[in-house]
Chains A and B, each alone.
Chain A
Amino acid sequence: MSAVIDVQGVEKMYRRKVHALRGVDLQVGAGEIFGLLGPNGAGKSTLVKVLMTVISATKCKGTMLGKKIGDKSALTQVGYLPEHHNFPKYLTSRQVLRHFGAMSGVDRKTRNTRADELLEVVDMTDSASHKLGTYSKGMRQRIGIAQALMNDPKLVVLDEPTDGVDPIGRKDIREILLRLKGEGRTVFLNSHLLSELEMVCDRVAIMVHGLMRQQGTIDELTQGRSGFRIKTGSAIDEQTIDASKAAVPGVECAGRPGENTIVFKTNDAQAVQPAIDALRARSVVIESLGAHRPSLEDLFIKAVNEHPDGARPGAQKAKKGKRGARS
């Protein structure tokens, strides 16, 4: 896998006080949909802005599309949709696309054709002549995505693309993302909507407290955490949980008194059988037994809980802020 984005040790310190990025390493492969997630204040948007040259890193080593981070020429092949964008309200959507196409260096003929094509892709052809000021949030978001695609980019960076978009719109956006992937483009997504990311991303990274905590495919991240889940007919007590644990020595078992789920972290179905026997011996009604795989949300919450300071924006204040050289 050739890396479209390959950065190491990205640091960003604001005003010698807030350490927003504390040595981030990130690799995004060509042709994949990569999802970046993290709680508010984790530094996700800061990282994206560093890549897009909107802010300069305090320290940064690495490349994007083979060019050094900060090299403007790399941006001819990058499309970017910022979070909370505010495209000129006095322009029509067609004018927005043509304007940003020109700013990306797309020639007049191509940008006229491409603007019409993209308006169709984002289902905005009927409103193409209306000014952006008259659009809803979802419509502006669609135009924002189209704008990011005007220069036929190899890498598309979308910061919260489904923000303010209704469920049908989200589905449309997911289809656009898969279509972009099908065309061989790399998509870098920054989103809070974990279920959205789970549905489309090939690889994800979880960022907490200005550091990349986990990175990989969802399978890689859940490896060792999958197993079997037993759902009981009624709430279980501590003795029942202890009896289950005792029945399967060597297998990690998780359950909470008052709940009706016990999870066994093993992929060996045979190893779980004694636990079922133990539960049945205690007359516990078993409602279901099935394979368990943690969701992206589980991984996310686990990562955040392991580093609770990261959940609070601005929590990562440096004690002695010595600003390094700008990249």
Chain B
Amino acid sequence: MILMQTIAIFVDAYRELNAKKLFWLTLGLNLLAVIIYASIGINERGFTVLFWTLEGLFNTSMMSKSTFYKFEFVTWGVPMWLSWGATVLALISTAGIIPDMVSGGTIEPILSKPIGRVRLFLTKYLSGLGFVGVQVLVFSVGCFLVLGIRGESWEFGLFLAVPIVLAFFSYLFAFCVFIGLVTRSTITALLLTIVFFLLIFVINISEALTISSRETAMVQIEDAQEQVKSQEKFANKRIEQYQEQGKAIPGVDGEPLPPNFDDSLEAVNPTLSFARENLAKAQRKHDSWDTWASWFSRVKFVLPKTGETIGLLERNLIDDDELDGFIQMMEDLSGENSNQQDPRVNERIEAVYDARTMTWILGTSFAFEAFLLGLSTLIFVRRDF
């Protein structure tokens, strides 16, 4: 009976979406995205769009077809289409699943059937995810075929997009379901979920900026420490020279320093005081950015890691050599370093993000989802309709 009821709920969810024309509309848009993906390519003469070739330096001698399509998939297909376009479409399609179910007159006949409320609620939730799963699968199959036929590489790793995008969507959908259950309004659930999505985006950007500023300040501290050290060395050398010559150590004004003067180094080398001042300034800057970064990290810890979850696909689909090669190639093409940032800062930032393991990213995100879903289930189970 459990299987029968589960199938009935999934079929009903499909019919509901089908009635709103959303299922086929979203599927059509996914196929359109695949067609756009297939229409852009690369050959030995240059960049291709449909039947036209834009001749130039960017051709297969610089990058293989398979690498081009993989990059296209991870830089455009997933972050732009699946993470934004398709996600918003999927939210529009599925936001009504719970509010529609709990509306007066609809919920009573369902609850009077021999199905537990927990199972009913979670199956409804899964039916929404199932819809998105089908859409991502269609997109991934399309891209897989394009990569195989046009890129001459059968990349099964592409299908990682299905669980990864599904995990990413599930964080947002759990929030949407919670709001939909509490407010019983589709439009409120949809709008607040989009606001939540943007909020996560803003927090991600803010955290990235504060981490970048903190690490920049840290590099400045290192530089300033070096500077202080070298200026101190220089001052010590001068003092030694004065002592060897039997002369009194002069102060800034040229007069001998009084005995027991507490900082003879700065007196013989005024540049040292500037270096020390710079170090203190960098330290204060670092402390300030560190406080902000810590706050954002704490906020981010409890929220789902949307950006990092999508980033997992890039980590798994493209290896570091390919990625480095691509970055180098872009720098060569533009004739300058595409990233003006100190490489030491980049290394430090990378280390911060690399420390965030897949377990941390998915674990904390799923914990957030489980909390919201648990709370929603509790509300659904205890509510009188």
Contacts and interface: CB of A to CB of B under 8 A. Distances in A.
Interface of A: 14, 49, 52-56, 72-76, 78, 80-82, 84-88, 90-91, 95, 99-100, 102-105, 107-108, 147
Contacts of A72: 114-116
Interface residues of B, number: 30
Given A55-B384, A75-B114, A86-B103, A102 B8 contact: yes
A52 B108 contact: yes
Given A14-B384, A55-B385, A76-B114, A100 B15 contact: no
B11 interface: yes
The 5 A-B pairs of least Cβ separation, nearest first, read: A86-B105, A90-B19, A102-B8, A55-B384, A82-B108
Given A102-B7, A103-B110, 12 more contacts: A53-B112, A54-B108, A75-B114, A80-B112, A81-B109, A82-B112, A91-B15, A95-B15, A100-B113, A102-B4, A103-B5, A105-B4
A90 B113 contact: no
A88 B8 contact: no
B104 interface: yes
Contacts of B113: 75, 100, 103-104
B201 to A, nearest CB: 34
A84 B107 CA distance: 11
Interface of B is mostly: helix
Contact of A56 (B108, B109, B115, B384): B384
Contact of A84 (B11, B15, B104, B382): B104
Contact of A78 (B11, B112, B382): B112
Interface string B244-288: 000000000000000000000000000000000000000000000
A53 B16 CA distance: 25
A84 B105 contact: yes
A80 B109 CA distance: 7
Contacts of B9: 103
24 contacts: A14-B384, A49-B108, A49-B385, A52-B112, A55-B384, A75-B114, A81-B109, A82-B112, A84-B105, A85-B105, A86-B103, A87-B106, A88-B106, A90-B15, A90-B20, A100-B113, A102-B4, A102-B8, A103-B5, A103-B8, A103-B110, A103-B113, A105-B4, A147-B109
Nearest to A80: B112
A54 B103 contact: no
A207 to B, nearest CB: 19
